[in-house]
Amino acid sequence: MSENNDFQQDNITTGTETPSSPPVKSAAREVGEWVLSIVIALVIALVLRNYVISFVRVDGSSMVPTLQNNERLFIVRLGYKPKSGDIIILDPGPGADGKKRGPYVKRVIGLPGETVEINNETGEVTVDSKPFVVDGINNETRSAQDTYVVPENSVFVMGDNRNNSHDSRASDVSFVPYNRVMGKVVFRVWPLNKLRKF
């Protein structure tokens, strides 16, 4: 009997004990954690923007009717290799005056090793003797007749508004090396009523 009472007494609590409270963080430590979180988020955002994805604004009319001035585009950078017909964002390099220019948006016409020909009489653009036709645009161009052989690791680009586009036909743009291709346009995200996947 006494053994049973001893056992019961060992399991009785008085209710006067207080649970241990969690350790209190110092204000400095909490601020430090917030700052670290913000820095990590900024680094991730910069890496994504510079190497993975980005948003750009169309500036000008060289891609009309496919793209209009001030439209916003979503581009993919990481692991992209240009393909014929892709719409790309490129760094045109410095202008004739040596000043840095903003990004251009153009369509890939010719790939390495291909021959792009422009017939001034017919306005036809051919790649390796086959017409290069884009649905929904005026495919004729009245630029000077010429033949371009695309070098390795470069592309030949033109705007869809072929008679009003500063592109690979101009000596200060010429062939675009792969390392100046900033990414492929995959979506038009603005205006909302013109959302489109490319």
CA distance 89 to 60: 13
> Contact 188/71 with Cβ under 8 angstroms?
yes
Predicted pLDDT at 1: 47
If phi over 0 gives left and psi between -120 and 50 gives alpha, with beta otherwise, what is residue 15?
Answer: left
> Contact 160/141 with Cβ under 8 angstroms?
no
Predicted pLDDT at 10: 47
Q: DSSP H helical segments within 48-187, as ranges?
A: none
Predicted pLDDT at 8: 46
Predicted pLDDT at 17: 53
Closest CA to 103 of 169, 55, 137: 55
Residue ranges per structural domain of the chain: 51-193
> Contact 58/69 with Cβ under 8 angstroms?
yes
Q: Is the dihedral of CA 20, 26, 29, 34 positive or negative?
A: positive
Which tokens is 54 given? 């980005």
Predicted pLDDT at 69: 93
So which residues are the catalytic ones?
Answer: 62, 106
Q: Which CATH class is domain 51-193?
A: mainly beta
Per-residue pLDDT of the chain (198 residues; tens, 9 = 90+): 444 444 444 444 555 555 555 555 677 777 777 887 787 777 766 666 666 568 888 888 899 999 999 999 988 877 788 999 999 999 988 887 888 888 999 999 999 999 999 988 888 899 999 999 888 887 777 776 689 999 999 999 999 998 889 999 988 888 999 999 999 999 899 988 888 888
Predicted pLDDT at 117: 92
How far CA 39 is from CA of 34, 54, 189, in Å, comes to 9, 20, 28
Closest CA to 165 of 109, 117, 97: 109
CA distance 64 to 27: 56
Peptide bond into 65 cis (omega under 30): yes
Chain mean position to CA 55: 6
